[in-house]
Amino acid sequence: MHPADPLPQGDLDALVIGAGVVGCAIARRLALEGARVAILERGADILDGASKGNSAILHTGFDAPTGSLELACIRAGHAEYLEIRERLGLPLDRAGALVIAWTEAEAAALPALMAQARANGVGDIEPLDAADLRAAEPALSHRAVAGFRVPGESLIDPWSAPLAYLAQALAHGATLARGTEVTGGAFDGARWRIETPRGALRARRVVNAAGLHGDRVDRLLLGEAGFAIRPRKGQFVVFDKPAAALARHILLPVPNEITKGVVVCRTVWGNLLVGPTAEEQTDRDRADLVPATLAALAARGAEILPALGGHAVTASYAGLRPATERKDYVITTAAGGSYLSVGGIRSTGLSAALGIAAHVAGLCGAPGAWAAPAELRWPRVANLAEGAPRDWQAPGHGGIVCHCEQVTRREILGALDGPLGAQSLAGLKRRTRATMGRCQGFYCTAAIARLTEGRLAQPMVGADG
C-alpha cells in the first residue's frame, strides 16, 4: 500500500488518531473552533473500522442509560445532525421507530421503557396496542402483542455523514493522512511527539479516537488504558429494494442488557436491513460472516414481516462494535489535559459523534481555546438517498457505470478526486454505492477496474493483475 496523503507538518493544535465517524466529527469540531488539526488513519481509507458496518440509524437516545454520558452525546449529536445536515447535503428519513413486544413478558417491560424514554427527554412517544401496530405497519406479523412509537428515530447515510464532517474539517485547514499508523509517542510537558512509520508529528493535544484499537493506543502513548475493548460483532443481511416497501418504520425489539436486538428497517438507499447480531469476540479487525447466522437473520426478518420470505438477499456484512467492560462511554483526559481518550463508543457512535465532538471540544477549553473563523464553510457531499436527485439525471454524466445503483462515470471520477478521494474499493463503494446493488459487481466490475486503475492506494483486485 502506498499512502497517498502527505504527512502533516509543523506544530499542530490537535492530532486526532482514527478517522471513523467519531474521529471525523472531532476533527470537524476542533477545526471549526479554529484549531490546527490533523487526523491519522491506519487504514487505506477512512471509516475502515467500526464505522464501516452499522445499522445506519440516527437514534434519539430513548433507551440509553438515563444520566449517562452516552445519552447526553446522543441527544446533542442527534440535534446537531438535524441542524447541519441540509447544509452538508446529508439525507434524513424520518421513519420513526416502533418498539415491538412479541410476548406478554416483553409487553410487561414496555411501561418501564416508555418511562425511561420520557426521562431521557424523548417525550413524543406514543403507546400502541396490537391493532395500532397493524395499522401503523400493515406488513407486520400479527403476532406482535403491543409496542410504542418513537417518532424521532431516523435513517441516515452512515458514510456520507462522517465524510461530510471530515470534508468540513479539511475546508477549515485540517489535514488527513491515511495509511498512517501510530507506532509510539511521548509528551515533553508542552507538546506530544507522535511517531509513525512515515515520520513524526508534533501536537499540543492528542485525541485518541482509535475505536477498536483505542485501548492499544492508550497503552502505547500513556503506558496504560482505562478500558479494555471487547469487540462485539454484528452481522446483517440486506434485502433487495422491492422489500423496502414492507417496512414503514424502524422495527425494534424490546432491548436487553447486552444489545438493542435485531432491527428490521429500510436504509436511506432503499433496501431493507435485518440485523445485527451481538457476538463477543477477541479479534479487533476480522468480522466473519457465518452462513447459519445469516440464514437465521433472514428467517427472523420473515417472522417479523412475513412477506419478506419471498424477497432476495442482495448483500450481507459484519461490523465490529468497540464495546468495553463498561456500560457507558469512556472519555477521559491525561497528561495535564493534553491527551484525550475517547473509548467504548459502542453501537451508538453514529448518532452520538457530533455530541462526542462537542464534549471533547469542551474538554479542550472550547469555545475560546483558539481563534474560530468568522464565517464557516459548508462543503456538500453527494446525497445518495433513494429518490434524491442523482447525477444520472443531468447530462454530461459520462454514462451509468454501476447500473443497479445508477452510479455514473462522473460520480466515480469525482469520488476518486481531491484530498478526500477514495483510496480503496471499499472507500469508493461507501462514497458512491458502486457495486453495492443487487448484482454486486456482475456487470460493472470490469468498468470500475478500468476507472480506478492507478488511482487507489489499495488497488482493486483485477485492476492490477
Partner 1 sequence: MAEGAEIAIIGAGPAGLAAAEVLARAGRRVVVLEREAEAGGIPRHCAHSPYGLREFARPMLGPAYARALVARARAAGAEIRTATTVSAIRPGPEVEITSDAEGVGRIAPRLVLIATGARETSRAGRLIGGTKPGGVMNTGALQGLLHLNHRRPFARPVIVGSELVAFSALLSCLGAGMRPVAMIEAGTRPTARWPAALLPRALGVPVLLGTEIVAIEGGARVSGVVLRRGGDEWRLDADGVVLSGRFRPEAALIAPAHLVRDPATGGPEIDEFGRCSDPAFFAAGNVLRGIETAGACWAEGRGIAQAMLRALAGGLPAGPGGRIALGPGLGWVVPQRIAGGAAPALPVLQLRAAGALRGRLALGAGAREIAGRSLAALPERRLILPLPPAALADGAEVRLGPEG
* Cα–Cα distance, 328 to 337 (Å, whole number): 21
- Is 25 among the residues that bind partner 1 (CB under 8 A)? no
Q: Which of 394, 417, 418, 419 binds partner 1 (CB under 8 A)?
A: 394
Convert residues 211-240 into a mask of x (bound to partner 1 by CB under 8 A) and - (unbound): --------------------------xx-x
**C-alpha cell of residue 134:** 397493524
- What does the angle CA 284 – CA 64 – CA 317 come to, to the nearest 5 degrees? 35
Stretch that binds partner 1, among 65-73, 223-231, 351-359, 399-407 (CB under 8 A): 399-407
In the complex, minimum distance from the CB of residue 137 to partner 1, in angstroms, rounded to a whole number? 21
* Cα–Cα distance, 67 to 432 (Å, whole number): 39
Please choose, from the candidates 65, 78, 59, 58, the residue with its C-alpha nearest in 3D space to the C-alpha of residue 120: 65
- Is 465 among the residues that bind partner 1 (CB under 8 A)? yes
In the complex, minimum distance from the CB of residue 93 to partner 1, in angstroms, rounded to a whole number? 18
In the complex, minimum distance from the CB of residue 95 to partner 1, in angstroms, rounded to a whole number? 20
Stretch that binds partner 1, among 20-28, 181-189, 193-201, 388-396 (CB under 8 A): 388-396
* Cα–Cα distance, 408 to 365 (Å, whole number): 45
Among residues 364 and 460, whose Cβ is nearest to partner 1?
A: 460
Type and span of the H or E element at 12? strand 11-17
- Is 103 among the residues that bind partner 1 (CB under 8 A)? no
In the complex, minimum distance from the CB of residue 242 to partner 1, in angstroms, rounded to a whole number? 5
Give me the phi and psi of 164, to 5 degrees please. Answer: -65, -40
Convert residues 305-324 into a mask of x (bound to partner 1 by CB under 8 A) and - (unbound): -----x-xxxxxx-------
* Cα–Cα distance, 63 to 77 (Å, whole number): 15
Q: Which of 215, 438, 455, 457 binds partner 1 (CB under 8 A)?
A: 438
Residue 294 near residue 233 (C-beta atoms within 8 A)? no
- Is 50 among the residues that bind partner 1 (CB under 8 A)? no
- What does the angle CA 80 – CA 333 – CA 203 come to, to the nearest 5 degrees? 85
Q: Which of 141, 397, 413, 414 binds partner 1 (CB under 8 A)?
A: 397
Q: What is the dihedral of CA 172, 178, 182, 186, to 10 degrees?
A: -30
Stretch that binds partner 1, among 111-119, 156-164, 273-281, 442-450 (CB under 8 A): 442-450
- Is 269 among the residues that bind partner 1 (CB under 8 A)? no
For residue 367, is the peptide bond before it cis, meaning its omega torsion is within 30 degrees of 0? Answer: yes
**C-alpha cell of residue 374:** 468568522
- Is 451 among the residues that bind partner 1 (CB under 8 A)? no
- Is 134 among the residues that bind partner 1 (CB under 8 A)? no
- Is 129 among the residues that bind partner 1 (CB under 8 A)? no
Among residues 160 and 435, whose Cβ is nearest to partner 1?
A: 435
In the complex, minimum distance from the CB of residue 40 to partner 1, in angstroms, rounded to a whole number? 20
Among residues 8 and 234, whose Cβ is nearest to partner 1?
A: 234
CA atoms lying within 13 Å on the CB side of residue 107: 12
Q: Which of 79, 119, 258, 289 binds partner 1 (CB under 8 A)?
A: 289
DSSP state of 458: B
Start-to-end CA span in the chain (Å): 15
- Across the strands, what pairs with 199? 196
CB-based burial label for 380 (10 Å; 0-12, 13-18, 19+): middle
Residue 396 neighbours by CB under 8 Å, 6+ apart: 410
- Is 439 among the residues that bind partner 1 (CB under 8 A)? yes
- Is 388 among the residues that bind partner 1 (CB under 8 A)? no
Residues that bind partner 1 (CB under 8 A): 237-238, 240-242, 286-291, 294-295, 298, 310, 312-317, 392-400, 403-404, 406, 425, 438-443, 445-447, 449-450, 458, 460-465
